[in-house]
Amino acid sequence: MPAGSPKKRGALPPGLINVTTILKTETRHWPAIFLALALSAAPCLATPLARASTTDLPAASDLRVAVAPPAKAGGPLIVIYSRHDCNYCEAVKRDYLRPLANNPAYRDKLAIVQVNQDSGAPLTDFRGKRTTHAGFAADEKIRLVPVVAFYGPNGQRLAAPIVGVRLPDFYQSYLEAAIEQSMAALKPH
């Protein structure tokens, strides 16, 4: 439009697209557009559910019961303190703890349970006290997650906990060293 000429009411500046016109004239494309939107949204909707089902470890319910089998075999109960919104926790569970739980070398020597710092789920601690996941995490002074802790039959810590993700290249070594230290602490002297 030349300068000074009157603008039509509702006219758009050059370069902008009138969506109303597209909606009126392109109705034959709506089924394809809706299908494309639905397919592109599906992975976003499924991701939290898929992640929860593949990385969650057994939730702790009674730590006295959970610690008994590994203690009898001379190994620790490994507790991962986690939160539902913690991506680092998911990485530790997926990359290190799940494979550890499935490793034949450790399968009968240890157990791994999860305590969710943000959960009100019931839990019985090592002394038989009824509490919640959040309450037990607070009693253990867990502030940041993930924390991987190693416990013996009476709830004593057997090795220093692994706090955070640290260096991914060395995390497996930290984990194996803590397991070996825990097993050594449980051996009769």
Domain ranges of the chain: 19-52, 56-186
pLDDT for the residue numbered 168: 80
**Per-residue pLDDT tens listing for the chain (189 residues):** 555 555 555 565 565 555 555 555 556 665 655 555 555 555 444 444 434 445 689 999 999 999 999 999 999 999 999 999 999 999 999 999 999 999 999 988 999 999 999 999 999 999 999 999 999 999 999 999 999 999 999 999 999 999 998 778 899 999 999 999 999 999 987
pLDDT for the residue numbered 65: 97
Topology (CATH level 3) of domain 56-186: Glutaredoxin (3.40.30)
pTM: 0.71
pLDDT for the residue numbered 87: 95
Up-side HSE of residue 133: CA atoms within 13 Å toward CB?
19
What is the three-state SS of the chain?
Answer: CCCCCCCCCCCCCCCCCCHHHHHHHCHHHHHHHHHHHHHHHHHHHHHHHHHHHHHCCCECCEHHHHHHHHHHCCCCEEEEEECCCCHHHHHHHHHHHHHHHHCCCCCCCCEEEEEECCCCCEEECCCCCEEEHHHHHHHCCCCCCCEEEEECCCCCEEEEEEECCCCHHHHHHHHHHHHHHHHHHHCCC
* Angle (CA) 185 76 186, round 5°: 25
| CA pair distance 28, 174, nearest whole angstrom | 60
pLDDT for the residue numbered 68: 96
pLDDT for the residue numbered 51: 41
pLDDT for the residue numbered 91: 95
